[in-house]
Amino acid sequence: MQNDRHPSGAPWRNFYGRFRGKTIRSSQKDYLDNDLDALSPGPVGWDVNPDRVPLDPATILGGRPLWLEIGFGAGEHMVAMAQRYPDIGLIGCEPFINGVAMLLGKIRRAEVSNLAVHPGDVRDLFDVLPEGCIEKAFLNYPDPWPKTRHHRRRFVTAEHLDPLYRVLRPGAAFRVATDIPDYVRQTLAEVPKAGFVLQTELPDGMGVPWDDWISTRYEMKALREGRRPHYLTFRKPA
């Protein structure tokens, strides 16, 4: 029988994306070496928190209300939201280290101080966040996994949605942006199963961006290639 635990005690969690891409520039290495630790929301990884002791939200970003961005890519939405909402604390998760380095460069240039970064899988963060501590969550252009046999890898599956629901405060919004019609289909089918209620009016509302929406790299690519963005808002019932 296959052991379902890593030697560190961590559960095996398949991650099918990329952890590292092309060479990291020396300036980006500098950001990773010198800036990343100070942006930690606290001990998240199994190596540093094997007992999965919950984080204390009051100690994260000065006790500001907390928002969460899942898979921030190169971080343009993170930084723009942090600038726009200085009284909010925004935690971002991204396992792709080149993306993390790009975010760190943007943070230096924008001089924002209301961001925290977990350079890894959001499921590890879910383990250590107390119930109801996140006031809003963003899922922008999640990996599409177009092949039918890979749909179970998508974020919009119970493995991710159930713990997301737990960490959100009652009444909290969960925003999903995607350019893949079949991703919309799966989102509309799976997110309500986790307990969320759809807020977006269908079908016309699907193409209307939020008032404070910042287009991301993936969205710009989708638009260039003629795909239509969809914007869906769900809410955890109050």
CA–CA dist 121, 126 (Å, integer): 9
**Residue closer to ligand SAM, measured from CB, 94 or 127:** 94
Q: How far is the CB of 67 from ligand SAM (least distance, A)?
A: 14
Beta-sheet strands, E only, within 115-191: 115-118, 134-140, 168-178
Q: Consult the annotation and say whether 33 binds a ligand.
A: no
Q: How many CB atoms lie within 10 A of CB 231?
A: 18
* Residues acting as catalytic residues: 143
| Residue 167 three-state SS | helix
Q: Contact between 122 and ligand SAM (CB under 6 A)?
A: yes
Q: Contact between 41 and ligand SAM (CB under 6 A)?
A: no
Q: How many CA atoms lie within 13 A of 30 on its CB side?
A: 5
Residues 6+ apart with CB under 8 A from 82: 88, 90, 110, 112, 114, 115
* Site track 197-216 with ligand SAM (rule: CB under 6 A), x = hit: -------------------x
Q: Consult the annotation and say whether 162 binds a ligand.
A: no
Q: Consult the annotation and say whether 190 binds a ligand.
A: no
Q: How far is the CB of 122 from ligand SAM (least distance, A)?
A: 4
Binders of ligand SAM among residues 80 to 109 (CB under 6 A) are: 93-96, 99
Annotation: binding site for substrate: 147, 179, 216-219
